[in-house]
Structure 1
Amino acid sequence: MSETVLQTAMDAATACADIARRTILPHFRTTLHADAKSDDSPVTIADRQAEQAMRSVLQNALPGHDILGEEDGLSGGGSEWLWVLDPIDGTRAFLTGRPTFGTLVALFHNGHPVLGLIDQPVTGERWIGVAGQPTCFLSDRLPGVIGTRSCPAAAEAELSCTAPEIMTPDHAPRFANLQKHTRRTSWGGDCYAYGLLALGQIDVIAECTMKPWDWGALVPVVEGAGGRITDWQGQPLNLQSDGTVLACGDATLLPELVRHLS
């Protein structure tokens, strides 16, 4: 991206995260009704209002860009630029008062994610990744450029996954095999876990049944922090990927992880 396009995109992504944060926070730890979508995942008024607010920002700032959101689908068509939005990644965590959900904003260029933002409204933490640049972490506690940690062997790795229920019958035994070869497994976190991986707190994340709005923003953040994020075959993620996601903080660990998942 040129400097002008990059700055415009960064401003738009930041504005999206800011307005989503203002929309979501008044609903946190209140009594909310959740509707079940076709895949049984919950959705609330906070999800819907936040996505609508982000769409308005993008439509005003970059009217020629397409937008794909978890709640309202695709608008536009044919542009080389596609914004992919998840207003609340981790609605179950949000509904139960856990500050491990996040807002995800991604910009794809010709089908590949080039900008990603993870925002946690409650803690005020924000990760921003741009293809080819170091990931930036914005927080009152620890602002600045961040990086993953060294972990060259799976046996030493902290493995994370949002929930065992997301594993299909085909993927569950493969994930179980990966577990056998790692130090221990922690559950929960949704997109927040990928932020922790970028901070050097987690080494490996393996998940499946992921949609582009689940992983699009994660790719520039993880890779900008020094990690790798692919499908379970070790191939780069794109809009036609099979829904498996494998992230590791130490890039040299990837071939071993793929082998355990195969």
Structure 2
Amino acid sequence: MVHDVISLVLSAGALISAETARPGGPRGVGDKADIDVEVELLLREGLLRVKECDFWGEETGSVLTGARHCWVVDPNDGTTDFLAGRPGSAISVGLLRDSVPVLGVVYAPISVRGPDCIAWQYGMSGLLRNGLHVCPDVNALQLDANSVVFVSTAAYQQPELNAALCAPARFSPMPSIAYRLARVAACDGIAGVSLYSVSPHDVVAGHALLRAAGGDLLDQDGQPIRYDELNKPLCQSCFGGNVSASQRLAARPWRQQLSIT
């Protein structure tokens, strides 16, 4: 199944790449891009052919019947950064089974690494990254000066505070919490952070990838995030990756020091 989803997501990514190359740049304003709806319509149709089940999408709404399986989709996580011309927004496709992430595909068509697709489904050992099998273990990493914490691009505005909050690790700003979590699952970093409220479509796919790499996704209290209710925000903040490092990071005064409301 995961190969069918990868193929579909790569096709959707081509639409995002083409949109970026439009004369005058991508259509949209603020946190809404025209291409997001177009991509989600393509994904919705294709995913329901791969597996007919419930569907939860950011742009086109949901069909929740209580089925065991549910597709959870963000067609372009990081739209604001995408419209501002920053690389690193990502397509995020996750599959829940009985509210547990069992498949994730996160694809950044345009990133500092080039096109980057990271995928997993339940039963696989390790991950597929750009078609190659890798077996990362995020819990083998240490929170030290050699590690990296991925944070949002808002960190550029307060670099000293972010450096202190991520210490002794370095911080690296990038769009898309989905892609932050995916890169952590691939052991590019030790943890990914979102200081803003996230919904299931933001994180289910990245959470699936973390599970494959031995990590987890925690809320602002250091508690594991679960998906019993899809129609509401999951948490105020999330910290995903190496479990010990994520717990340590979650305990730090991010909201007070960075004046997050």
TM-score, normalised by the number of residues in structure 2: 0.78
The one of 46, 65, 70 aligned to 1:82: 70
The one of 190, 201, 208 aligned to 1:213: 201
Unaligned runs of 5+ in 2: 255-261
**2:59 corresponds to which residue?**
71
Query: How many residues align structurally?
Result: 237
The one-letter code of the counterpart of 1:32 is P
**1:159 corresponds to which residue?**
149
Percent identical:
21
**1:168 corresponds to which residue?**
none
Superposition pairs for residues 226-241 of structure 1, below 5 Å? Answer: 226-239=214-227, 240=229, 241=234
The one of 191, 214, 232 aligned to 1:204: 191
Cα RMSD, aligned residues only = 2.9
Answer whether contact 2:142 2:245 (CA < 8 A) is retained: yes
Answer whether contact 1:134 1:225 (CA < 8 A) is retained: no
**2:81 corresponds to which residue?**
93
TM-score, normalised by the number of residues in structure 1: 0.77
Deviation at 1:152, TM superposition (A): 3.0
The one of 51, 60, 71 aligned to 2:40: 51
1:243 to 1:29, Cα distance in 2 relative to 1, 3 A: farther
The one-letter code of the counterpart of 1:182 is P
**Which secondary structure state, in structure 2, belongs to the residue aligned with residue 260 of structure 1?**
coil
After superposition, what is the alpha-carbon deviation per residue over 1:192-212, rounded to whole angstroms, capped at 9, x for unaligned?
A: 322322232222222131111
Superposition pairs for residues 87-166 of structure 1, below 5 Å? Answer: 87-122=75-110, 123-131=114-122, 133-139=124-130, 143-148=132-137, 150-153=140-143, 157-164=147-154
2:28 pairs with 1:34: yes
Deviation at 1:179, TM superposition (A): 0.5
* Whole-angstrom distance in 2 between the partners of 1:220 and 1:90: 19
1:101 to 1:136, Cα distance in 2 relative to 1, 3 A: same
**Which secondary structure state, in structure 2, belongs to the residue aligned with residue 113 of structure 1?**
strand
The one-letter code of the counterpart of 1:126 is C
**2:175 corresponds to which residue?**
189
Deviation at 1:255, TM superposition (A): 3.8
**Which secondary structure state, in structure 1, belongs to the residue aligned with residue 245 of structure 2?**
helix
Deviation at 1:34, TM superposition (A): 0.9
**Which secondary structure state, in structure 2, belongs to the residue aligned with residue 216 of structure 1?**
helix
2:5 pairs with 1:13: yes
* Whole-angstrom distance in 2 between the partners of 1:178 and 1:129: 33
Answer whether contact 2:162 2:171 (CA < 8 A) is retained: no
